[in-house]
Structure 1
Amino acid sequence: MAEQVNRTRRWVLIGGGAAVAAGFAIREYRLIPEDHGGGRISVAAAHEQAREGHILLVDIRTPREWRASGVGEGATPLDMRREDFIEVLSQLTDGNKSAPVALICARGVRSARLSNQLIAAGFANIIDVPEGMLGSAAGPGWVRAGLPVRRYNEDAG
């Protein structure tokens, strides 16, 4: 009987350890940005270039995230989950698929992945902001860098 209990405990520990390891693997996959064929830019440079009109800076996060941290000054909020995302982005660039478009998300993961999708869809000048709004291995991010944010206006976004 004691041997059966020990065997059961061993399998529970092995199964629990495997579940924890799988959870970490999934978490890490979600936090590691893909490599992409576009350029990269820091949050400070993205802010400056967007403010000067040299790039279209698009905040691809969700309305919940925009409400929580605000939207970076000079950025256009456009939820990447929208079914018409590419159509709206095309409208924002006046149909110019060579226009410089910088993408920012929370930590640079979604922006890198979406960059690849947009490049595959024919956009030729997609730039990733790998620091994101909240920081990543690439840098402190928009908020911690002290760059200006504006309150998200739900009627405008």
Structure 2
Amino acid sequence: MSLSVSDERALFEGMVDRQRAEIASLLDDLDESEARERLVPSLTTPLGLVKHCTFVEKVWFHARVADVPRAELGIPDEVDPSFVLEPTDTIDSIHTAFLAACERSREIASTHDLDDTFPWYEHRVSLPYIYDHLIAEYARHAGHGDILVEQIRARRADRSSD
């Protein structure tokens, strides 16, 4: 059995949206200080992961597919700064920015066919390639976030039992 193009598109979009929902849920039930907790040597925090995924949406869909320059989007040229939290970043502001970036990405993608290609360094990549990349990246980051959140909740439980 083969999928029609519309079925294939729905499959990709559904898989990406499931991973987007996992990323968005990382901040559920955390307070502001917990969301910023660094439990690993890198810049990775639950809040930083969601902020980074906003960057990912903007790099792949807003910059590559829609061809809007990064500077115009207000996103850095490198990956590491996308994890850096500003004092004004909050759970609400980061969560809202991520959901808005995802919605804009859906709008952008809807105006393209699956076989359209977009620049990626010296190559060109298709929309299915981009979907596949986001599915893998978000699944990996959701796993990172799940572990961090599990540690945060365990620490919270330990403190409340004292």
**TM category, shorter:** under 0.3
Q: Say which structure, 1 or 2, has more relative contact order (CA 8 Å, 6+ apart).
A: 2
TM-score (norm 1): 0.28
More helix by share: 2
More strand by share: 1
